[in-house]
Amino acid sequence: MINTARKFRKIQGDFQAKNGYLDTINNKIYGSISYDAKYNLVNQPEFTVMGIDTLTAVNADLSLEELVMEFEKKHGEVHLDSCDNNTGFSESYECEPLTKKLKKDFKKNYILGLRNKNLADMINATSSKNIFVIYGARHYKGMFEELREIDHNWKLLKK
């Protein structure tokens, strides 16, 4: 797991979200992200408050190991050097990351794309009539597109 985390850091250049994030607890935006108020984002309540049975709930996300493994299948092994191995995770990352092109590919096709496809496949494969998805807003469009690839009858319903 430690080497996987180091490989992830080497691909991404660090562990920080470059654009920032929305802190709905304190109602603050950190970094340069923009927030469209039409989504009316709120803090996630406890599962029991939402009526989710944690004994039957399924985690449909991919692990860090799976993401790095799939990336390495296409691009070859991510080689760590002594700087990568000797830099702690709480320290500033001054090592040589992979190219910007590979970083962009990882974000687009793995962090977003592969995770969206995996979730869409799991939604499609379930026989359950009740599906509750907790996912980041940046995945919304891609997940819906993946569902439409599987079945063109998927549509968005307006409230």
* Average pLDDT across the chain, whole number: 84
The answer to whether residue 42 scores a pLDDT higher than 60 is yes
In this predicted model, which residue has the larger pLDDT, 107 or 34? 107
Given this model, what pLDDT does residue 76 score? 96
pLDDT band at 7 (very low <50, low <70, confident <90, very high): very high
* Whole-angstrom distance, CA of residue 47 vs CA of residue 29: 25
Q: What is the pTM of this model?
A: 0.76
* pLDDT tens profile 121-142: 999 999 888 888 887 778 888 9
* pLDDT tens profile 74-103: 999 999 999 999 998 878 889 999 999 999
CB neighbour list of residue 39: distance below 8 Å, 6 or more residues apart: 137
The continuous run of DSSP H or E covering 9 comes out as helix 2-12
CB neighbour list of residue 86: distance below 8 Å, 6 or more residues apart: none
